[in-house]
Amino acid sequence: MAWYTLGVGLSALNDHEKALDAFNQVIQLDPFSTEAYYKKGCELLYFKKREEAIMAWREAIGIDPDYYQAWHRIGMASFELGNFEDAVDAFDRSLALDPTNPDSVYYRDLAKQGLEMSKKKKSSKKK
């Protein structure tokens, strides 16, 4: 738990590289630490490594499928990558677990709009 606490502190001090190292240490010692995978994903996102962040959050939900914060983060990163279908799915899963999260509702709706727009673009290119 000392590595986790260190990682949280380093992150708060904006030392994200060392925080990421600390969360990786937690994972080495406890490969079932959902919180460490979640925080690792957050640190990776700081470095704009969205795909790697998504993989870390997927590790967290592989351990705890009800980890709605990880589902929300997957939705956000997928949305930012333009993967609207994945974003909608992740936000739906987050909302199934925490229906009161206004950010998940808002971004799910935006992702649905993005998905519809991309479908329209694809169908207009076929014509």
- The first and second tokens of residue 27, run together, are 């994972």
The pTM score is: 0.92
Q: Which fold has domain 66-127?
A: 1.25.40
User: How does pLDDT run across 46-95, given as a tens digit for each residue?
Assistant: 999 999 999 999 999 999 999 999 999 999 999 999 999 999 999 999 99
**Number of helices and strands (H, E) in the chain?**
7, 0
Domain extents in the chain: 1-64, 66-127
In this structure, what are the phi and psi dihedrals at residue 61, rounded to the nearest 5 degrees?
-75, -20
1-64 is classed CATH 3.60.20.40 = no
What stretch of H or E contains 11? helix 2-12
The number of C-alpha atoms within 13 Å of 2 and in the hemisphere containing its C-beta is 0
Do 1-64 and 66-127 come out as alike in CATH topology? Answer: yes
